[in-house]
Structure 1
Amino acid sequence: MPSTSRYEEGRPMSTKELSQKAAEFDWNPNIEFRFWTRAAEAIHHEGLVYLREGNEAHAYVVLQRYTLLVVENLRSHPEAKTPEGRKALKPLMSRIPTVLSILESLKPGLEQSYNEWIKVHATQRDSDTSGRKRSGSSSYARHAARDAALSWNHASPANILDASEHHELAVDLAKKEMHRRRRMAGLTEEEVSRRRAAGFWDKAAASRFMDDEELRRQMESTRRQLDRSSTARDEEADRDSRTESVNYYYPTINKSSPVSYDSKKPQSSSQRPPAARDEARIQPPRPPKESLNHSWPAITTTPPLPDKKPLVNDLPPPYDPPKEDLPPLPPKHAEGTLKQRRITFRPAAYLESGEPIRPVFLPSSLRQAFLEMAADNTRRNLEMCGILCGTLVNNALFVSCLLIPEQKCTSDTCETENESAMLEYCITNDLLIVGWIHTHPTQTCFMSSRDLHTQAGYQVMMPESIAIVCSPRHKPSWGIFRLTNPPGLPHILACNHNDTFHQHSIDNIYTDAGQPGGHVIESKNLEYDVHDLRPKR
């Protein structure tokens, strides 16, 4: 397992620095209002997931970003004054008091972690300065060390793992978390079998996270809730460990000689056999002294005197077994051990700016399932699109649902319709929008100018968002892309062209996220559901 000390020992950020990081996003009112409301829903969902997992620093950043986006930016968007805009903005604004309450409750713990780290490392600052300069000279290393998701926390330390190296563990953890959510939602086995994949919530279960009044009442004891959540996770881990077979190693002991004792001497309760101990609990009353038999012969022989106490020098030396014969001590299960620490996956890749991005796990068979659904459109030379929805677990994103929205398709474009139905489905089923997939029935596999502007709407608040392009009639037949940042994302955000297809003045606008070194990891073991929102034909 690779060393994780570089991340565990990295300086945590203060709440002021976390707030500054929360403000690091590109606001552009030229992006359609629906993309911004979708992004706001996604980051609010992310914040609650990080809060539930005990990743307080990242929860603070994400929820603070939600507040800034909704209060300072969305209300000033040109479309916010339309009837549709006011309707979409109302539920986002209603969460603000609860989010602010959460942020205030998180501050003391974050500041304590920051102050404790500063106090512990104050004496090491001078000696470590030169080493840090050598090991952290690249911008990638500096940004990764300041990733809020990897911040050291005194109350909830984490094991930082590489998702690509621990692929099976990552998928297994995701399955367990999805199963836990499904169990909480109370879905029947028939419903679970129908949906095939885990991690879906009914409306009653979703309201546990989305009902602001209920959450506001609970925020008076948020810190206690976090502690109880951590304790529950530890107890569950202990229960799991008890069900597994464990090998114990005991030290070798010299065979002792039989114990001799006087049969007339009364035995202690610990020396008696079980039956004798049971009889000793209920004893008959003693007879009167007059009835004792005095005809017993008197004892005339005295026991031999004990041997003279030997001198200390005559005693044999105490037995000191060789250390190599002793078995290793079993690990202690104290708080803060590796067994009880939460797991967080480190960044899978980095943007061109050096900012870290989380791993995205993609089911290997999803692309073929989508092409089969799009076959009818492909035969008619019509594009088709789907939405990649997923679950956030341990700082990694797992695509667990292929959602087919209502859409209007042409030979060169595909526009989603009825955004509210799509968002409602994601909220109800506890899903994040991780990206999209679409076909090019008449063109090769590339990102058109129209695709680039659509991708900017996905990627502006979730840099891990991906676009999968399928070109069934050309080679290569598919690709997984993201905008570069910089120069791609800022260039597209600054582009004011209104025509459907137009040229851009720079190269290197997008890159392949599925190639080695990218942040997308395909998995054969990751299950997913397919849900079609289009009207029945």
Structure 2
Amino acid sequence: MASSYCLQIDVHTVTQSPPPTISCIQSLPHAAEVSRITSADSSSDGLADSELLKDIHISSQLMEDFLALARDNTNKDLETCGVLGAFLEGGTFYVTTLIIPKQESTSNSCQARNEEEIFTIQNEQSLFPVGWIHTHPSQSCFMSSIDLHTQYSYQAMLPEAVAIVMAPTDTTRSYGIFRLSDPGGMNILKECRETGYHCHSEPSDGSPVYEHCSNIYVNPNLRLEIYDLR
């Protein structure tokens, strides 16, 4: 009972009375145009798969604000990660919450800590965990083997879950929004028991292990709330 009570106090402090630098709300005119994110690397198979999924709308400020919060770590060549929370309305997911958990980082990995704080915020606001976002401070924009296993845990809970990779030093592609191919990539990761950096075999159906998402829309009308729990 004591540990549960302490957790409630910690999360209450962040959600109810955060300093301006920890939590903020963005709001733009309703008339602003919603635009779809597409990639030249998206295969026709990936597009077909994504069309079977619910659309996801993200704030036009989300990636920019996340990079700003990650800047200190990025300058130190440390990764930063965050969790995307969304509500579902009319068959569409709207990402309205970005949670930056307590975390341990290296130049090529990031591990969330005290995950019960994330779950508490999601439960209190009835949010779906539609994915995660993280930086590659000095690497290119891709999904590492560790990233793929993290993405599997999200996508196994929610098929629409995505991984946003921010690579500020990649001059060819500064960000990517990815998901595991399904069933190909999902089956590969489900059977993999390796940890750390390792190679994955190609799916037997010829699909890539992961692919670009085509069901993502930038929506400048969305309000974005950020919780930095670090």
TM-score (norm 1): 0.33
Q: Which amino acid aligns with 1:478?
A: Y
Residue number in structure 1 paired with 2:209: 509
Note the residue ranges of structure 2 that are not aligned, 5 or more in a row. Answer: 5-15, 17-22, 28-46
Residue number in structure 1 paired with 2:153: 457
Given that residues 350 and 357 in structure 1 are in contact (C-alpha distance below 8 angstroms), is that contact kept between their aligned partners in structure 2?
Answer: no
Task: Give the 3-state SS of the residue equivalent to 1:460 in structure 2.
Answer: helix
Q: 1:524 aligns with which of 208, 220, 226?
A: 220
Residue number in structure 2 paired with 1:481: 178
Residue number in structure 1 paired with 2:72: 376
Note the residue ranges of structure 1 that are not aligned, 5 or more in a row. Answer: 1-86, 88-186, 188-193, 199-348
Q: 1:421 aligns with which of 76, 101, 117?
A: 117
TM-score (norm 2): 0.76
Task: Give the 3-state SS of the residue equivalent to 2:157 in structure 1.
Answer: coil
Given that residues 361 and 397 in structure 1 are in contact (C-alpha distance below 8 angstroms), is that contact kept between their aligned partners in structure 2?
Answer: yes
Task: Give the 3-state SS of the residue equivalent to 1:436 in structure 2.
Answer: strand
Task: Give the 3-state SS of the residue equivalent to 2:137 in structure 1.
Answer: coil
Q: Which amino acid aligns with 2:49?
A: L
Instruction: Report the structure, 1 or 2, having the larger helix content.
Output: 1
Does the C-alpha gap of structure 1 residues 197 and 433 become closer, same or farther in structure 2, counting only changes over 3 Å?
Answer: farther
RMSD: 2.0
Task: Give the 3-state SS of the residue equivalent to 1:374 in structure 2.
Answer: helix
What is the identity percentage for the equivalent residue pairs of Structure 1 and Structure 2? 39
- Rg comparison, structure with higher value: 1
Shift of 1:525: 1.5
1:482 & 1:522 partners in 2: Cα distance? 17
Structure 1 residues 231-380: aligned runs within 5 Å: 350-351=48-49, 356-380=52-76
Shift of 1:367: 0.3
Q: 2:162 aligns with which of 439, 458, 466?
A: 466
Given that residues 197 and 528 in structure 1 are in contact (C-alpha distance below 8 angstroms), is that contact kept between their aligned partners in structure 2?
Answer: yes
The structure, 1 or 2, with the larger RCO (C-alpha pairs under 8 Å, 6+ apart) is 2
Given that residues 363 and 524 in structure 1 are in contact (C-alpha distance below 8 angstroms), is that contact kept between their aligned partners in structure 2?
Answer: yes
Q: 1:392 aligns with which of 83, 88, 91?
A: 88
Tell me the matched-pair count: 186
- Would you identify which runs of 4 or more consecutive aligned residues in structure 1 move more than 3 Å? none
Task: Give the 3-state SS of the residue equivalent to 1:504 in structure 2.
Answer: coil
Structure 1 residues 121-136: aligned runs within 5 Å: none
Given that residues 357 and 519 in structure 1 are in contact (C-alpha distance below 8 angstroms), is that contact kept between their aligned partners in structure 2?
Answer: yes
Task: Give the 3-state SS of the residue equivalent to 1:373 in structure 2.
Answer: helix
Task: Give the 3-state SS of the residue equivalent to 2:72 in structure 1.
Answer: helix
Given that residues 197 and 400 in structure 1 are in contact (C-alpha distance below 8 angstroms), is that contact kept between their aligned partners in structure 2?
Answer: no
Shift of 1:419: 1.1
1:495 & 1:357 partners in 2: Cα distance? 25
Residue number in structure 1 paired with 2:13: none
Residue number in structure 2 paired with 1:497: 194
